[in-house]
């Protein structure tokens, strides 16, 4: 017997990879079970991350899917990683499942590209900006707002740890000019952006309306790249989120990142613009 549990972000990501390889091999769960000797119910739970994916099971499944040895080793290596999102624990009662999954994936990623047309990206927010933004949300109760801000600030440590996340953010001018809190809060936020922009692992670009159309006209998205798994796209919608893992659709978003990077102001020009907003 195996015990079902809510998947961690790591188990969820491994499960997504297992399902991708099975689909690429054109095998149903029943067909894969017959080939690899693992029961269909367990295979299903392995793909959803509801049970731990041990190296022996990963190898059996991927060999049955005729996956190259180097890709098998890569996924086994991913399975051996520790849960780097364990820091989320104190906030699990105030953070939604989809947000926990996103932040867990973010903790596993090596690179992140984010496009934000309306507000500044969470990883770049000061505590005062995040607090003002959270307090203005009708979906956040007053008794959880403070803890959500604490959660956001802890998340921001990803940019400052020993092996930091590489972040490339493209921000609409509208997001920079959105008045959140008072002028002191905004000036502090602008200075914080300038400080982060000096980090070797952070690239900031501003998108001007005068620059014309680009390939991300549908709005906000985040593209996460991993050392041992294929990219995942994360899109927030009203009080929920969508995770995109299909290779063809992920490729579309990859092309959008290239379009945004090409059309937006350069990091140097963006720095000058942010400086000009400080009053």
Would you write out the chain's pLDDT as a tens digit for each of its 279 residues? 334 445 788 999 999 999 999 999 999 999 999 999 999 999 999 999 988 899 999 999 999 999 999 999 999 998 877 666 567 777 777 788 888 889 989 999 999 999 999 999 999 999 999 999 988 887 777 778 888 899 999 999 999 999 999 999 999 999 999 999 999 999 999 999 999 999 999 999 999 999 999 999 999 999 999 999 999 999 998 888 999 999 899 999 999 999 999 999 999 999 999 999 999
- What structural domains and CATH numbers belong to the chain? 9-79 (1.10.260.40), 88-276 (3.30.870)
The count of other CB atoms within 10 Å of the CB of residue 94 is: 17
DSSP 142: H
The first and second tokens of residue 117, run together, are: 């047309």
φ and ψ at residue 63, rounded to 5 degrees: -65, -40
Radius of gyration of the chain (CA): 21
| pLDDT at residue 89, as a whole number | 73
Task: State whether residue 138 is helix, strand or coil.
Answer: coil
The answer to whether the Cα torsion of 38, 42, 46, 51 is positive or negative is negative
Partner residues linked to 170 by β-bridges: 115, 205
| pLDDT at residue 5, as a whole number | 47
| pLDDT at residue 135, as a whole number | 87
User: Which tens digit of pLDDT belongs to each residue from 193-222?
Assistant: 999 999 999 999 999 999 999 999 999 999
Q: Which is nearest to 240 in space by CA: 117, 97, 129?
A: 97
| pLDDT at residue 113, as a whole number | 98
Q: State the Cα–Cα distance between residues 15 and 10, nearest whole angstrom.
A: 9
Question: Strand 202-207 and strand 166-172: pairing?
Answer: parallel
The 3-class secondary structure across 202-223, one letter per residue, is: EEEEEECHHHCCCCCCCCCEEE
| pLDDT at residue 3, as a whole number | 41
Task: State whether residue 185 is helix, strand or coil.
Answer: helix
Q: What is the pTM of this model?
A: 0.89
The count of other CB atoms within 10 Å of the CB of residue 198 is: 9
Task: State whether residue 118 is helix, strand or coil.
Answer: coil
Q: Cα(first)–Cα(last) distance of the chain, in Å?
A: 64
């Amino acid at each position: 017997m195996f015990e079902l549990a809510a998947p961690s972000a790591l188990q969820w990501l491994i499960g997504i990879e297992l399902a991708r390889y099975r689909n690429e091999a054109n095998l149903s769960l029943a067909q894969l079970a017959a080939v690899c000797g693992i029961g269909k119910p367990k295979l299903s739970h392995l793909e959803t991350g509801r049970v731990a994916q041990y190296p022996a099971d990963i190898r059996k499944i991927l060999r049955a899917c005729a996956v190259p040895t180097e890709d098998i080793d890569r996924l086994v290596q991913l399975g051996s990683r520790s849960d780097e999102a364990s820091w989320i624990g104190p906030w699990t009662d105030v953070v939604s499942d989809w947000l926990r999954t996103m932040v867990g994936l973010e903790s596993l990623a090596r690179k992140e590209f984010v496009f934000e047309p309306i507000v500044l990206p969470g990883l770049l927010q000061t505590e005062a900006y995040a607090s003002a933004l959270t307090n203005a949300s009708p979906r956040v109760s007053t008794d959880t707002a403070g803890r959500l801000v604490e959660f956001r600030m802890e998340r921001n440590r990803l940019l400052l740890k020993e092996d930091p996340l590489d972040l490339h953010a493209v921000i609409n001018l509208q997001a920079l000019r959105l008045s959140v809190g008072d002028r002191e809060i905004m000036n502090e936020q602008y200075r914080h952006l300038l400080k982060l922009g000096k980090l070797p692992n952070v690239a900031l670009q501003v998108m001007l309306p005068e620059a014309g159309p680009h390939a991300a006209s549908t709005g906000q998205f985040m593209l996460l790249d991993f050392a041992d798994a294929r990219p995942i796209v994360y899109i927030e919608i009203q009080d929920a989120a969508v995770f995109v893992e299909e290779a063809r659709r992920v490729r579309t978003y990859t092309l959008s990142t290239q379009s945004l990077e090409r059309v937006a102001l350069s990091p140097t020009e963006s720095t000058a613009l942010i400086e000009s907003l400080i009053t």
